[in-house]
Amino acid sequence: MTVLGLLVVFTLPLWTPNLYLVHVATLIAGYWVLIAGLNLVVGYAGALSIGHVGLLSIGAYAFAILAGTHGLAPLLTLLVAGVLGAGSGFLLGLPSLRLPGFYFAMSTIALAMIVGEWSLALDGLTGGGTGLPVPGFPAPFDTPSGFYWLVAAISGIVTWMTWNVARFMWGRALISMRDSDVAAASMGVPIARMKLIVFTFSGFTAGLAGALFASLQSYITPETFVFELGLFFFVCIIIGGRGGILGPFLGTVVLTALPELVGPLAKLGNLFYGFLLLIVVLLTPEGIGDLVRRSYERLQQRPAKKLPQPDLARLAAAMARKRAG
C-alpha cells in the first residue's frame, strides 16, 4: 500500500495532463516540508508554535534576495535559506522555549509580526510593499513537472528524517515531554535542549519550504505571509492528529485541496476550515490519521475461525447407552 502511494505521488506529472493539478500537488509538498518539521514541535514535543509563517517568510525573502537580486545559484541558495531558518529558530527558541505553552505561542506570533514589519520597512532590500520577483530553478527543475519532482524529493527526505526521529528513543522522549514535563524530567530527559533541537530543525525545514514556496509563487510581497497561513500550518497538525506522521500529512492534503474543491466558495476558506476543525474535534479528537488507522485495522482483521461445536444429541445418546449397559 505504501509503495503504491509513493508510486502515485512520484509519477503524478506523467499520468495527469492537468498542470494546475501538478501546481496544487507541488504546493502540498512544499507546505509539507514545513509542517513535517513543525509536527515534531507541536505534535510530539507539545510546544504551541503558531507563528511559523515568520520562519517561512525568512526563507522566502532570503531566496528571493540571494538568488534573484545577487544571482547566487538557486540550489545553493535553497540550503542557505534552510540554514537561515534554522538560525532564526535557534535564536527565537533559546530564550522563549522555557516559557509556558501560551507565552511561547505568543513569542512565535511576535516573530511573525516582526518579520512582516521588517519586510515592509526594509524596502531597499525586500522591495517593501511592492515585493520582489523570485527566480526559478535551473534545468531539469525549470518546468512544472521538474519543479514538482524537486519539491517532492525534498519533502520525501524531510519525511524520512522526521520519521526516524519519531520512531526511536527521541520520539518517545518528545511524547513524554508533551504529556508531562515533570515526569519526563524525572526520567532524565533534557527538556530544554531537546525542545531547542527540534525547534531549530523545524526552522531549517521552514526555511527550505519558504524558498520553495517563493519560487512556486514567482513573486512575493509582505501580504503573501499573512498570519492565517501560520494558523493554517498549526491546524493541519491538529486536524491530522498529533503524535504521528500520516495524520498531519493527510491534514495538509485535505486543507490545501479544500479551497479547490469548494470552487466559487474559495473565499470562504476560513469558514470551511473552522467547520472541519469543529467536526474533527467533536467526532474524532485524535485526528484524521487515527480514524484512517482504525479503519485500516478493521479491514485487516480476519474473521475469527469457528470452533467445532459438539453434537449434544449424540453425546446424550451415548451417555444413556453407557448407563443402560
Q: Where are the domains of the chain?
A: 16-299
Please give the pLDDT value at position 270: 67
Residues 114-141: tens digit of each pLDDT: 999 999 888 888 888 888 999 999 988 9
Please compute the mean of the pLDDT values over residues 261-283 and round it to a whole number. 70
pLDDT of residue 134: 93
Q: Does pLDDT of 205 surpass 90?
A: yes
Pick the range with the lowest mean pLDDT from 38-42, 74-78, 143-147, 317-321.
317-321
Three-class SS state of 219: strand
pLDDT of residue 75: 93
Indicate the pLDDT class of residue 72, thresholds 50, 70 and 90. very high
State the chain's mean pLDDT as an integer.
Answer: 84
- Each as own residue / partner, the long-range contacts of residues 231-236 (CB below 8 Å, 24 or more positions apart, any chain) are 231/50, 232/273, 233/31, 233/34, 233/35, 233/38, 233/52, 233/53, 234/38, 234/42, 234/48, 234/49, 234/50, 234/52, 235/273, 235/277, 236/31, 236/35
User: How do residues 211-260 score in pLDDT, each as one tens digit?
Assistant: 999 999 999 999 999 888 888 898 888 888 877 888 889 889 888 887 76
Residue 62 has pLDDT above 90, yes or no: yes
DSSP character at residue 243: S
What pLDDT shows up at residue 39?
Answer: 92
Cβ density class 149-183: b for 16+ within 10 Å, e for less: bbbbebbbebbebbeebbeeebbebbbbbbeeeee
Whether pLDDT at 55 is above 90 = yes
φ/ψ of residue 220, rounded to 5: -125, 145
4 pLDDT more than 60: yes
Q: Please give the average per-residue pLDDT across 267-292, as a whole number.
A: 73
C-alpha cell at 215: 519560487
As a whole number of angstroms, the distance between CA 42 and CA 34 comes to 12
All cell numbers assigned to 62: 532570503
Residue (of 161, 163, 137) closest to 150 by Cα position: 137
Q: What is the dihedral of CA 60, 61, 66, 69, to 10 degrees?
A: 120
- What contacts 222, CB < 8 A, 6 or more positions away? 116, 119, 120, 126, 128, 129, 131
Output the pTM of the full model.
Answer: 0.84
**Greater confidence, 313 or 121?**
121
Judge residue 23's burial from the number of C-beta atoms within 10 Å of its C-beta, 0-12 exposed, 13-18 middle, 19 or more buried.
middle
| The pLDDT of residue 148 is above 60 | yes
pLDDT given for residue 57 in this prediction: 95
For 49-77, what is the mean pLDDT? 92
Grid cell of 237 as nine digits: 497538525
- Beta-strand runs (E) in 177-285: 219-220
CB contact at 8 A, 238 and 46: no
More confident residue, 4 or 181: 181
So what's the pLDDT on residue 101? 76
| Fold (topology level) of 16-299 | ABC transporter involved in vitamin B12 uptake, BtuC (1.10.3470)
